[in-house]
Structure 1
């Protein structure tokens, strides 16, 4: 996964609260292999009517190249399905701006290079108002944690570790690998000080038992 520090792209507003993961990707689509791409399933039941026809005035149908989505509080609530993040990323969304996010959704987003940009309720109100006349280019800067929309600048609340992971393109395993030397040193000290706590290699005993029987 590639890291990033700045992104500029078209933004659209989804003026709804409590957009949950089942809305982001309905469960019936989750048997599809990820290799086929989950982008077409993003917000499928909002973007299409009952017979599957795209809703012409739905924001993401009007701006299919949008890469920044602005929404209301509690975005990504509901189940822990990581496929909700896959759908956003595969559609081309790089940043979701909202006052609050589901905890697991936010963690999954960072692990997939998607920024869950938390801003104040007032800032979301202002941003949605600015987009009322149509999509606009929005710039996001991870380094200074700022979002710029026209002459308006929004402050992003972002955990330091999440910022580091997004900039470097790391998931949880990559982050753990940065402590590899400290982990190895701790293990060596632990084994030396408490050898009785180190698991015995059971495979050696089984092999020894087979060798004895064969004799």
Structure 2
């Protein structure tokens, strides 16, 4: 997982409320066994409309998505997080998120930032013309116009995102302790050791 410390760039001022995972990535794209390439199907129904925000060249390569309340509701498909990452989005700012989506986003290295609607409204305006900076270390979202919004994040999630640690990375970080325990257990409980033939 790629560590996240600061995300700076144009943000996509999406703002739609109650965007479910079927809108983020339609079921037709769930047959894939790889995470890459899902970006082409992301927000397919919205992208079918002429002049949609996702195909606007102004926001090409934007690392941040500004969404409305209850983003990521609906099914538990992890493909929604994969599709966002494939679009280049590493941060989503919204007034609230579905718990399952928020968990999937975190496990895949996407920072979800919860801010009040007034802050979202301001960021939607700024995103039309200027960059936004999300700083995970200081837990702030700032603009070139001296706007500064603080956000809360679980300390464990913050640690993992700052250090690029997914579940495998967390386990590997304890390799020495695990090896030590296994060596001790092998000596104290030899009957648990697997016999190789």
- TM (norm. structure 2) is 0.85
**How far did 1:125 drift?**
2.4
Q: Which runs of no fewer than 5 residues in structure 2 stay unpaired?
A: none
**Cα deviation code 1:88-132 (max 9, x no counterpart):** 11011111001211222112212222111122232112222434x
Deviations 1:132-173 (A, max 9, x none): xx2421111111111112321111221111111111111112
Change (3 A) 1:36 1:170: closer
2:10 match: secondary structure:
strand
Q: 1:189 to 1:117 in 2, by over 3 A?
A: same
Matched, 1:168 2:163: yes
TM-score (norm 1): 0.78
135 and 114 in structure 1: CA distance in 2 versus 1, 3 angstrom threshold: farther
1:39-118 correspondence runs (5 A): 39-49=39-49, 55-56=50-51, 58-62=52-56, 63-118=59-114
Instruction: Supply the RMSD in Å over aligned alpha carbons.
Output: 2.4
Larger Rg: 1
Distance 1:35 1:88, change over 3 A: closer
Q: Tell me if the contact between 2:136 and 2:162 (Cα under 8 Å) persists in the aligned partners.
A: yes
* C-alpha distance in structure 1 between counterparts of 2:193 and 2:32, whole Å: 43
1:177 Cα deviation from its structure 2 partner: 2.9
Do the aligned partners of residues 43 and 185 (structure 1) sit closer, same or farther apart at CA in structure 2, a change above 3 Å counting? same
Unaligned 5+ segments in structure 1 are 50-54, 208-215
Query: Secondary structure in 2 aligned to 1:31?
Result: coil
Q: Contact 2:69–2:96 at 8 Å: present in 1 too?
A: yes
**Secondary structure at the residue paired with 1:136?**
coil
Query: Number of residues paired by the alignment?
Result: 194
Q: CA deviation at 1:4?
A: 2.7
CA distance in 2, matches of 1:127, 1:39: 24
Contact 2:35/2:83 (8 A) holds in 1: no
